[in-house]
A and B are shown apart, each in its own frame.
Chain A
């Protein structure tokens, strides 16, 4: 632990971190959460880069009106990115509240 930072030291003795990190529940938590978080991050980054590249390289495509009227594909995709960004965070919260928090609480519970 950081010996210069008394404010961060937990009250009482430290638990056995090595034992926790060998705990299968901890390994499950870390594996599931990091797979999920990196997948969602990848989706967000890919969508955003795809949108940016379309804006930069294919302006005529973005000007097309797939659903008639004057509403362009660019505007539809732009709004879709906004809605998806919100949706992805919602997806993460839903799974974290349901699954990850329960695993973390079980691991913490053993310490009490």
Chain B
């Protein structure tokens, strides 16, 4: 194992799920080690055909902007919850977190919890008002009473930065995973993923994107449930027995039951804040609240989604512990040295990000292994499709219609621009995925959450909740939050030392959110207070109408507009 890969794994462990993004690293000399599992390929081909069929049907029903961005508002709360949960149950959280549990036990739970606790915040502060005030993107809400040109420019930029960071991490992870599972060349895997996501989004819009996500969420939840049940049954449904067996065989022994790899407290809290509040600023998640009928359904979506995501993280925890007992006892999962010895963590074939896939083979044979491999692939496709749609909407609805054309665009042309944007984003994703193949992308998802928490979330929350927010304040504060979070990450160890090779990092912590998020709120507040312009007075006066509509749902957009 190269030193660079080892340090990337350590880094990834501190940055939560992106560990998966680095799964294969430069160490992947045996891409066909999992064998060309024909079940996996057959199931995956079946999934692709099924989703293409759905896309074909969705394309025929996708004409208006409401169809394209919001699936015509015809998604039920349960369906929306599955789609939302699907966005969070990425291959990164499935494989990355179970791998983290395999390596260090308890620590995997810390990240799961961080990803989950943002959901109550979304529910209490954002979801209903977002649905009441917006139509397709969160910029609709941010610019409700504030000047559209600066606010939509800012929101679109925030969206595109988050989407780009998230997407690069997913694309690099996708390429390496597919290489490992299916023996496909890295660049071919990038093209395959890119082309499929273009087809889903450009032809099927939100309807296809949502259904791809729902199907994948059901497959993933079903597969993970079966795997966790087999593991628990093996231990007579006693978690304590499962933990005992894991302690007995894990090289770290009883240390796996308590925190071990956690960095300094400031970094831990900063990452925690980024995960918690970043969720409330993720554009591809916020968009999903416009696909349901009304605020009450938006609220139900969050409730079910929180349950599904929490359940999923409990499953990954069980899977991680199951993998410890099942895999560590069996040398066939490891690169065994000449004297028959192997390291139970570093010598695992295909790195620890493969433990969930390996466990599928160990518990259910090659058929189940093939199923879980196909599901992992499907997961990547569904997540990148959601990101592409969010990016395309920011370009067409916010930049093209809201900023360049000042709202005067026929619907047909807006939909056409969205489709072109989806194609461009897909091609860019293929290009960036290939460009970043050998780069350390582990910090990117953490950064995406930090940007969402420091730019999108403060602007959205302040424009909704505080009468005094003005265009100038929101715009300056949003850009400061965006700039500060990106700058601090560039100056942190992950980029400044690991990528640029400097000796030490000027910014000593691993995540900027603890500083950049309060800074954004502070700047919005101070600049808004100091803004004495006529426009500012008008905007403060317009708060009353926005507030009444946000709280009661009066005049809420009905996405059923056909």
Contacts and interface: CB of A to CB of B under 8 A. Distances in A.
B268 interface: yes
Contacts of B135: 7-8
Interface size class of A (residues with CB under 8 A): 35 or more
B313 A93 contact: no
Given A48-B117, A59-B258, A89 B123 contact: yes
Nearest to A37: B124
B490 interface: no
Given A7-B407, A104-B552, A21 B314 contact: no
B244 A70 contact: yes
Interface in B101-146: 106, 109-110, 112-114, 116-117, 119-121, 123-125, 128, 135, 140, 143-145
A8 to B, nearest CB: 6
Interface in B256-271: 257-260, 262, 264-265, 268-269
Contacts of A59: 258-260, 262
B548 A17 contact: yes
Interface stretch (B301-309, B334-342, B344-352): B301-309
Contacts of B268: 52, 55-56
A86 B254 contact: no
A75 B268 CA distance: 18
Interface size class of B (residues with CB under 8 A): 35 or more
Given A70-B240, A72-B106, A81-B117, A2 B145 contact: yes
A85 B120 contact: yes
B557 interface: yes
A47 to B, nearest CB: 8
B8 interface: no
Interface string A77-106: 011011101101110110011000100100
B194 interface: no
Contacts of B140: 5, 7-8
Contact of A70 (B128, B257, B542): B257
B125 A41 contact: yes
A1 B140 CA distance: 13
Given A5-B148, A21-B548, A26-B552, A89 B303 contact: yes
Contacts of B303: 89-90, 92-93
A63 B247 CA distance: 13
A24 interface: no
Nearest to B246: A70
Nearest to A51: B113
A50 to B, nearest CB: 11
Contact of B119 (A33, A69, A89, A108): A89
Pairs of residues from A and B, 7 with the lowest C-beta to C-beta distance, nearest first: A10-B555, A63-B258, A56-B265, A69-B240, A72-B257, A37-B124, A17-B545
Interface of B: 106, 109-110, 112-114, 116-117, 119-121, 123-125, 128, 135, 140, 143-145, 147-149, 239-240, 243-244, 247, 254, 257-260, 262, 264-265, 268-269, 272, 276, 296, 299-300, 302-303, 306-307, 310, 313-314, 402, 406-407, 542, 544-545, 547-549, 551-555, 557
7 contacts: A2-B542, A5-B148, A30-B547, A44-B120, A45-B121, A85-B120, A108-B554
